[in-house]
Amino acid sequence: MIRPDDDMDTRPLAEGGASARLRAALALGTSPDPRALAALVERCAVEPDFPVREALTWALTRLPAALTVPALVGELGSATAQARSQALHTLSKIGDRRAWPAITRALLTDADDEVARTAWRAAAALAPEDERPALAAVLASQLGRGGRETQRSLSRALVAVGEAAVPVLLHTAASAPDPVVREHALATERLRRDPDSGFDFAIEEARRIVALGGDGRRPAG
């Protein structure tokens, strides 16, 4: 259990309006002090304002990774979705690969879309090369999930995984029984080959290919 030092007054992180809390978080980032670690992590779990959460993350990245990584990993088992997602987001910003083993299949398939999206980004950033094929397989199991933004996030993560994602994308595009899943796989492979094409264009093209009975590897018809 991390306990803040009695000499460290971190109450401003939770007091006043969003502007006041933002100033408090920025101040702690400007003058990093490990005694603020517990308060920063705890506030991440409940802070309602996005810019303040970003400032909290920045303040945490200014502290030694040897302290922050274990504290954030401890949040990944929280029952609070925001605690899990914000911890994953901060771990991805820190970029310390020691956090990789804590990004479990349960997080990558979390029922909360925001947690899952953040886990996908963190995993793609932190996975060692030899773990990338297994990661790609787990990510591919989520193809077709959610709305446009969730699908866009998953495609970006799979593209970031790199060549290790190609076999599973091609297999899914050719054999998944759900046409939405096939479309998502095709669109992601298109994005991997041509990042400038944009997700919306890629998904519309994939929808046309699937509707015509193609799989992206051979002419439809």
pLDDT digits (tens, 9 = 90+) for 62-97: 999 999 999 999 999 999 999 999 999 999 999 999
pLDDT at 51 over 90: yes
Structural domains of the chain sorted by starting position, each given as residue range(s) with its CATH number in brackets: 1-103 (1.25.10.10), 127-214 (no CATH)
- Residues in the chain, overall count: 221
CB 104 within 8 A of CB 119: no
Q: Give the model's pLDDT for residue 7.
A: 62
pLDDT at 6 over 60: no
pLDDT at 218 over 50: no
Nearest partner of 86 among 72, 69, 98, judged by Cα: 72
- Share of residues in the chain with pLDDT > 90 (%): 90
- Answer yes or no: pTM beyond 0.85: yes
How much is the average pLDDT of 183-198?
Answer: 94
- In Å, how far are 90, 131, 140, 205, 221 from 213, measured between CA atoms? 42, 33, 21, 13, 6
- In Å, how far are 111, 118, 153 from 147, measured between CA atoms? 14, 15, 10
One-letter identity of residue 60? L
Dihedral, 206, 195, 164, 86 alpha carbons, nearest 10: -100
**What phi, psi does 112 have (nearest 5°)?**
-85, 120
Task: For residue range 140-189, list pLDDT tens digits in order.
Answer: 999 999 999 999 999 999 999 999 999 999 999 999 999 999 999 999 99
What's the mean pLDDT when you consider all of the chain?
A: 93
